[in-house]
Structure 1
Amino acid sequence: MIAPEPQTADGPGSAPALDFAFELRAFLAPSLHIGHGGGGVTEYVPITGGTVEGPRLRGTVLAGGGDRCDRHHGVYRLDARYLIRADDGAVIDITNRGYYHEDEPTAPAQYDGALQVSEAGVYYRTSPVFRTDAPAHLWLARTVFVGLARGDDSEVAIRFYSVA
């Protein structure tokens, strides 16, 4: 027996949609070398602060978080943990994992309106998980997000999109 095609408000089999929620800019200290091993390099990048701006969330990135980066064969596996203080005073915990690598032929340049959020050939994507008990921000802990990131050695900007 063949299962019926899923039905959605947009019609049968429509793809999930992404809805821009906010952009986070994290300011970075120089990376700290942890070690070599298993054919790779591990580093830690301290987060010294930052901003959060967008239609669904505004606030600041608190100093004290960081990103553990494991690099193997040109691919960085990212595991960042940090805190946001929303404009209303609520504290939101983020675990943000992802990958960064260059020379990826299937990664197109991507735009959000006129803003270029990723370069052609660069794969820099994250998958955040948020935790808070603040009633106004529980939607973060109940939603799947995708992050499109760009940055340099001193700052990373991540545009977070909720998956509908």
Structure 2
Amino acid sequence: MPLIEPTLRFAFEARVKIAEPLWVGRAPEEEVMFTPITGGVVEGPRLTGEVLPYGGDWSTTRGKGESTELDARYLLRADDGGTIDIHNRGWYRAENEVEQRIRAGAEVSEAEYYYRTFPVFKTDAPAHAWLNTTVFVGMARAEAIDEVRIRFFALD
């Protein structure tokens, strides 16, 4: 039997509002920050609603800034009232020159840096139970100093 190639199908995007990051500390070869999540909007063909103002992202940058491990936990509320827990882990890495352009507010193509996530959703809302048993990939980008945009794709 021939093997199938996986495909990704756009499900929805979250425009996540964030507050100023808080310095947590530094251990040998790593720096830990916490970024509070303050709200946002969820829109797409498979889910619409809001990002609730609870949770945040614990990020750990290792080495000399070569890569940052992301570990975000927050809540979504669907338009029908269903509450959805999201644990969104991932990686961010960019060349120093690209990072400087991003921090300066320049528009930078997603092809120039790696900002990817692998979310896991949990909910008991019947209309959204499909989230519990679907594998997702997220593509993220900073939209403003206080907003991150994450596009979620279901793996078919």
TM-score, normalising length: structure 1:
0.83
Structure 1 residue 66 corresponds to structure 2 residue 51: no
Identity %: 55
Pair 1:86-2:78 in alignment? yes
Q: How many Å separate the matches in 2 of 1:82 and 1:117?
A: 27
Q: CA deviation at 1:14?
A: 2.9
> For 1:56 and 1:77, how far apart are their aligned partners in 2?
28
Q: Which amino acid aligns with 1:154?
A: D
**What is the Cα deviation at residue 117 of structure 1?**
10
Decide which structure has the larger Cα Rg and report it.
1
The amino acid across from 2:150 in the alignment is I
Give deviations 1:1-44, integer Å, cap 9, x for gaps.
xxxxxx4xxxx223100000000010000000000102111000
Whether the aligned pair in 2 keeps the contact of 1:127 and 1:147 (CA below 8 Å) is: yes
Choose from 110, 120, 139 the match for 1:148: 139
- Counterpart amino acid of residue 46 in structure 1: P
Q: Is the 8 A contact 1:118 1:124 kept in 2?
A: no
**What residue ranges of structure 1 are gaps of 5+ in the alignment?**
1-6, 105-115
C-alpha distance in 1, partners of 2:108/2:149? 9
Q: In the TM superposition, what whole-angstrom CA distance separates every residue of 1:95-136 from its partner, at most 9, and x where no partner exists?
A: 0000000029xxxxxxxxxxx995222000000000001100
Task: Determine if contact 1:25/1:156 at 8 Å carries over to the other structure.
Answer: yes
| SS in structure 2 of the partner of residue 62 of structure 1 | strand
Tell me the distance in 2 between the aligned counterparts of 1:136 and 1:118: 35
How many aligned residue pairs are there? 143
Listed as ranges, the gaps of 5+ residues in structure 2 are 97-106
Q: Does 152-161 or 19-28 show the bigger shift? A: 152-161
CA distance in 2, matches of 1:76, 1:36: 13
Within 2, Cα distance between the matches of 1:139 and 1:117? 34
Deviation string, structure 1 residues 55-99 (Cα, Å, up to 9, x no partner): 000000000210000001321100000000100000000000000
Map of 2:103 onto structure 1: none
Q: 2:38 aligns with which of 36, 48, 59?
A: 48
Q: Higher helix share goes to which structure?
A: 2
Residues 56/118 of structure 1: CA separation in 2 closer, same or farther (3 Å cut) = farther
Runs of 4+ in structure 1 off by over 2 angstroms are none
2:134 and 2:73 map into 1 onto residues whose CA distance is: 18
